[in-house]
Amino acid sequence: MTSTLPRTPSFRLDGKRALVVGASSGIGFAAAVALAEAGAVVSLAARQSPKLDQAAEAIGAGGFKAKALALDITDVDALCEAVEASGPFDVLVNSAGLAIHGPALETKAEDYDKVFTINVRGAYFLMQAVAKGLISAGKPGSLITISSQMAHVGGIDRAVYSATKHAVEGFTKSMAIEWGKMGVRVNTICPTFIRTPLTEQTFSNPQRVKWISEKIKLGRVGEVEDIMAAVAYLASDASAMVTGTSLMVDGGWTAE
């Protein structure tokens, strides 16, 4: 008896162009490495800084294709111009984000505005700009936002941050519905606490460490490597039937 075996779709991204925003360090840099390892030509974007150039150079030194692209997600007009001039991009990973934590009773309007400007307004128009380029070119694509487990639950001192991430999940679903027929997929990755330079302050607080340890069912905090495979999956044809959803990388935090 003979039969044709099904074949696992490819995780490779050879010939694809990827844009990673917030790529100078942490999760964004790790995402850029994952895409480059899969064969994509990666543009690492963030505000211009030696750190951004060093990140692109490090990926290039590893034998992969990468370049730096100065981009400020808070300047929507300049953002759209940069994406139009450099695109179209087959893959987007938006890892740009801001967190200003504190009790809800003490939230300042200026801090609220800063966090929403980057996490919601900037993210929204970045997605729109990349999608416009793909749709105009008649190309499919995968748009990914690094969201958070806080997009699905609440957290101590995180009312504003959680609100922004809930908003991201909302526009992700709507964009997925609108752009699906054009072959543009839109998803989020929702990590738990990931050990990066930006989370050092949280991990230096014994009370926060206790809270985190009790919530993560796998008994450890996340590392950037835990996000890399999720990025490669959602960027590639391996996830061709996945859109409008969240990939939880939270160690079971939201399982309750």
Catalytic residue numbers read 161
3-class secondary-structure state, position 84: helix
For 165-196, letters b (16+ CB in 10 Å) and e give bbbbbebbbebbeebeeeebbbbbbbbbbbbb
For residue 109, give both structure tokens.
């309007």
Compute the C-alpha angle 102/108/111, nearest 5°: 80
Which single residue is written with the structure tokens 């929507």?
76
Name the amino acid, one letter, at 91. Answer: V
- Name the one residue in this structure whose structure tokens are 């994952």: 34
Q: Are 128 and 145 in contact (CB under 8 A)?
A: no
